[in-house]
A and B are shown apart, each in its own frame.
Chain A
Amino acid sequence: MRKLFAAVLALLLAAIAVIGGLVLGVIPARADTVVGSKAFTESVILGEMARIALEDAGVAAEHRRQLGGSRILFDAVRAGEVDLYPDYTGTLRFEILSTEKLAGDGGIAAALARQGLAVSKPIGFSNGYALAMRPEVAERHGLRTISDLARHPELRVAVSNEFVDRADGWRALSAAYGLGAIEVRGIDHDLAYRALADGQIDVIDVYTTDAEIAAHGLTLLEDDRRFFPAYDAVFVYRSDLDPRAVAALDALAGRIDERAMQRLNRMVVMDGASERAAARAALGLAAPQGAAPPGLWQRIGLRTIEHLRLVAIALAGALVVAIPLGVLAARSRRIGALVIPATGLLQTIPSLALFVMLIPLLGIGAAPTIAALFLYSLLPIVRNVHAGLTGIARPLRESAEALGLSTWARLRRIELPLALPTIMAGVRTAAVIAVGLATLGAIIGAGGYGQPILTGIRLNNTATILEGAVPAALLALAIEGAFHLVEAAVVPRGLRPAR
């Protein structure tokens, strides 16, 4: 009985360790130069262009796509996890380098240089704010510039909700151009294009490279008083980047204007082309051919391995740390009063914030994701170990003591086995939570089921979202079921509810 119990427990731990160890080898090693991109289509296309340009210049490169937002990419490039990524001068000025209070784009290069970074020549287009109209409406009223709007206060203007509220949004724009007579409404950005096409509104705000501008053939009003800041696309790279790579990036300067970028975005978002195909088109190369992309089952299989790897390593680590912690917490009231709230506090850190906070320490990819999952797994296990041990009836605890068993023998032979059902429930909870949370790891490049979810959200493609969401849900159910089987095997007959 005792040996069987120990063996099953050892097997369980070994299985977790072996799965973790096996799948460790599956992820390819880091290539020489890593290109990163943000989690929206344009950024992924630009990242892909950079990768192809670097490869053509003889620099081995890898593209880690859709890694979340500017802050994540900027931290990653500073930490050396990523060597370069595409960004916009406006974003750099107002978000990343906001404390520098730069007067114009001219100061960006110097500010970046102080952090060991550099910026490429502009790629040729700006992805900033603009006002858009249907061409026939603009023509009918003879509108060409934003200044012209002041003569037509009867026009129905609707701008995105955030643009209404921003200090540098509609209010400032209206003041700069004297548009005070125009009544403005807030509207969801995606609905705005439909409402404009239906003729329910006349003027909306857009990003200058939105695919819809090309798709609907919209007219952009010229910003004749230069109100909107420039959001020129550039590459941010590490100062120690291979000179051949720097030359290759600078060679992309001026290659793509707003119309070209609109078409590239449209190719991917509306026509279903791959980002790679769009990037090759932008560089004047033939559409990619050769090996067919991996099939659905192969993709799911690979992601399952990635996902399980994240969860298994995090959970194995959490078991090793949380069980002794829980035991100590149950032993000493003082330690308990410290450990239980501390692990509870970890749980309250918003998951996205925790992932991002770990980047400077652990870079991007699997490591920070595993660390975050590990931290989140601590509480359910520590708490249940503590609850299981302190919940043992006093007569049983004292009977063990009265026999003359040592502290260690009591823990091993009596207390942990009695607490086992509660402990297993905690581990099960931790595992199921980890499976769900691991999907967020895709934002920082950890792969797994979050990858298709992220892509699906970016492309507004439900089928792709489900390709990640359904296996994630099934895996959570499978783990739940597997744990019930393991519990049935390891919980001694005497502790099972009577039938």
Chain B
Amino acid sequence: MFELEGVAVSYDKVEALAPTDLVIAEGETLVLLGPSGSGKSTLLRCLIGLARYRGSLRFRGAPVSDWRALRPRLGYVIQEGGLFPHLTARGNVVLMAGELGWDRPRIDARLTELAELVDLAADQLDRFPGELSGGQRQRVAMMRALMLDPDVLLLDEPLSALDPITRVRLAGDLRDIFARLGKTVAMVTHALGEARFFGGTTALMRDGHIIQKGAIDDLVRDPADPFVAEFLAAEEAL
């Protein structure tokens, strides 16, 4: 789905992402794991064209020249949802479909379908983000990301700002959604538990580099360098 060759990002001459090679396969769930400042969010932001990168980034074999045209095929969810406070939940979800000229019945049908998928009561859709709980906001953000039925879901710490109970419930629901839709997923987290919970491939990052990539149990069993062992052990300890 994505092929990266020597993709690198610098902010004000500080390298946030070292030249990185990475392939994300169709239907794969990739978890980008690492401490804060390791470059995992920067890498994810490259995948939706928000970070200015050097190097070659290809989507389905073709270099990306027009990110705006590609973005409707990518769903993006960030910590706290990034919902627009001046629009209702419904307004947030249907914004892009409206711009693309979807008609009312099509929008309504898709809304009903998605509300059911993310388990959000229909009456919550008329509320503003400020009137929703943190978990509800993330469910709305998922609906917004899925509205146009994208090929890829890009999630940046979607569970981090939630209380433990909400977090566990939403994590379960997200895993079910991923399984049902079978979409390609790239998700950033700093929590080993989440990486293990969502399964798939984990790429462990530090200081802008991918240190090791593989199934999480393989990383635990066979750490490629002392940092991997130390990070995983520290995450297990608490």
Are A400 and B84 in contact, CB atoms less than 8 angstroms apart? yes
Q: A494-B130, A498-B130 are in contact. Are A405 and B87 (CB under 8 A)?
A: no
Across the interface, A495 reaches (CB within 8 A) one of B70, B71, B83, B86, namely: B86
Q: A395-B78, A402-B50, A413-B95 are in contact. Are A494 and B88 (CB under 8 A)?
A: yes
Chain B residues, Cβ within 8 Å of A498? 130
Are A398 and B87 in contact, CB atoms less than 8 angstroms apart? no
Residues 38-76 of B, flagged 1 when their CB comes within 8 A of A and 0 if not, give 000000010010100000000000000000111110101
Question: Is B85's beta carbon under 8 Å from chain A?
Answer: yes
Kindly state the separation between the CA atoms of A46 and B93 in the bound complex, as whole angstroms. Answer: 73
Closest beta carbon of chain B to A409's beta carbon, Å: 5
Chain B residues, Cβ within 8 Å of A409? 99
Question: Is B91's beta carbon under 8 Å from chain A?
Answer: yes
The A interface is mostly helix, strand or loop, or mixed, namely helix
Are B96 and A495 in contact, CB atoms less than 8 angstroms apart? no
Instruction: Please name the residue on chain B nearest to A420 by beta carbon.
Output: B86
Are A414 and B84 in contact, CB atoms less than 8 angstroms apart? yes
Number of CB contacts from chain A to chain B under 8 A: 69
Closest beta carbon of chain A to B212's beta carbon, Å: 29
Closest beta carbon of chain B to A1's beta carbon, Å: 6
Chain B residues, Cβ within 8 Å of A404? 68-72, 96
Chain A residues, Cβ within 8 Å of B72? 403-404
Across the interface, A417 reaches (CB within 8 A) one of B48, B79, B86, B144, namely: B86
Q: A1-B87, A404-B71 are in contact. Are A494 and B129 (CB under 8 A)?
A: yes
Closest beta carbon of chain A to B167's beta carbon, Å: 19
Q: A494-B128, A494-B130 are in contact. Are A398 and B82 (CB under 8 A)?
A: yes
Are B99 and A402 in contact, CB atoms less than 8 angstroms apart? no
Question: Is A396's beta carbon under 8 Å from chain B?
Answer: yes
Question: Is B80's beta carbon under 8 Å from chain A?
Answer: yes
Kindly state the separation between the CA atoms of A406 and B68 in the bound complex, as whole angstroms. Answer: 7
Closest beta carbon of chain B to A3's beta carbon, Å: 11
Kindly state the separation between the CA atoms of A403 and B128 in the bound complex, as whole angstroms. Answer: 19
Question: Is A186's beta carbon under 8 Å from chain B?
Answer: no
Kindly state the separation between the CA atoms of A381 and B38 in the bound complex, as whole angstroms. Answer: 42
Question: Is A399's beta carbon under 8 Å from chain B?
Answer: yes
Question: Is A418's beta carbon under 8 Å from chain B?
Answer: yes
Question: Is A56's beta carbon under 8 Å from chain B?
Answer: no
Are B86 and A403 in contact, CB atoms less than 8 angstroms apart? no
Instruction: Please name the residue on chain A nearest to B129 by beta carbon.
Output: A494
Kindly state the separation between the CA atoms of A413 and B98 in the bound complex, as whole angstroms. Answer: 11
Kindly state the separation between the CA atoms of A409 and B95 in the bound complex, as whole angstroms. Answer: 10
Question: Is A257's beta carbon under 8 Å from chain B?
Answer: no
Kindly state the separation between the CA atoms of A494 and B95 in the bound complex, as whole angstroms. Answer: 16
Kindly state the separation between the CA atoms of A409 and B83 in the bound complex, as whole angstroms. Answer: 16
A-B residue pairs, 10 tightest by C-beta? A404-B71, A494-B128, A399-B82, A402-B76, A492-B86, A494-B85, A395-B82, A404-B72, A403-B96, A417-B86
Task: Please list 13 pairs of residues, one from A and one from B, whose beta carbons are closer than 8 Å in the complex, sorted by A's number.
Answer: A1-B91, A2-B91, A395-B79, A398-B50, A399-B78, A403-B71, A404-B72, A413-B95, A414-B84, A420-B86, A494-B86, A494-B87, A498-B130
Instruction: Given contact pairs A401-B50, A406-B68, enumerate 8 new A-B contacts (beta carbons under 8 Å).
Output: A395-B82, A399-B78, A403-B95, A404-B70, A404-B96, A418-B85, A493-B128, A494-B84
